[in-house]
Structure 1
Amino acid sequence: MNVQFINPFLESFLNVINTMATLQLTPSRPQIKLDEVARGDVSGLIGMVGPQVKGSLSITFEEQLACKVMQNMLGEAPEELNEEVTDMVGEITNMVAGGAKKILGEQGFEFDMATPVVVAGKDHHIAHICTGKKLIMPFNSIFGKAYIEICFEK
């Protein structure tokens, strides 16, 4: 797994959450993920295809953290996941992928992005579009956890 491809996504995620939701997330230790079960309650998934790379990115939030991000970004304070929260997760996924695309583009890597898909519910599954290893990176906050999963074709 190439760190040169992964770090822009992590950097972009922290930037989006810090800038848009004024929240600080603390990265934890990355691991290889062997299953498709999401670690949180709502996930945005986006595919990326280009001449040098094919892969997908998912961003998953635990319910409490997703609601807090919604409150900080839009001033609405939902008590549980709803359509507005799932829409916001899709937008965050799009912003993160777009930020990483900009960083990677400056390094000579180009790719197109699909429209994000959002899935919610306990123990929902995340099906990445490629067969490479899946890296999962947990992020901690006082409001709960978020997870980034990145998978690139071998």
Structure 2
Amino acid sequence: MRKFFLFLIVLVVFLTAFSSSSKVSISDVQITVIKAERILRYDFTIKNEGVSQIGDKFDYPGHHYYGLELAIRPSKKLAVLMEKEPNTKYSKMMYRGGGGGGTIQPGKEESFHVEYQIKDNVDINQVKKNALEGTLLLLDGTNVVAEVPLKK
């Protein structure tokens, strides 16, 4: 009997962990390399395929609630070409800027962009070739709400 209850508890924890994950897809991605500034820019159109809004929407006295954030977790091939964030356990490319909608409504699409710093003396063609070697992370605050491979 104890094993049965233990099994049920593990099953409930497992199912609730995955039921809260958001269902998103990348409708479009455009890659731009700005040679003069050594910047790799991603422009995304992301679709919410779930039944609930992604990202919190709340009223507050400020003007620039950023809501959802995008980050690219690079593969090793891409990471060696890019400047990296220091003092972190995560593989993070050096962030140069980004933005987009604060929420994505169910069944709707939203546009986002994010830019990263390319290392000095790197072949730009290699950056273009490997730009889709990684995973798109969609974050709401510190919570990763979706992970989508860039290559289909």
Normalization by structure 1: what TM-score? Answer: 0.30
Higher RCO by CA contacts (8 Å cutoff, separation 6 or greater)? 1
Higher Cα radius of gyration: 2
Q: Which has the higher helix share?
A: 1
Q: Which has the higher strand share?
A: 2
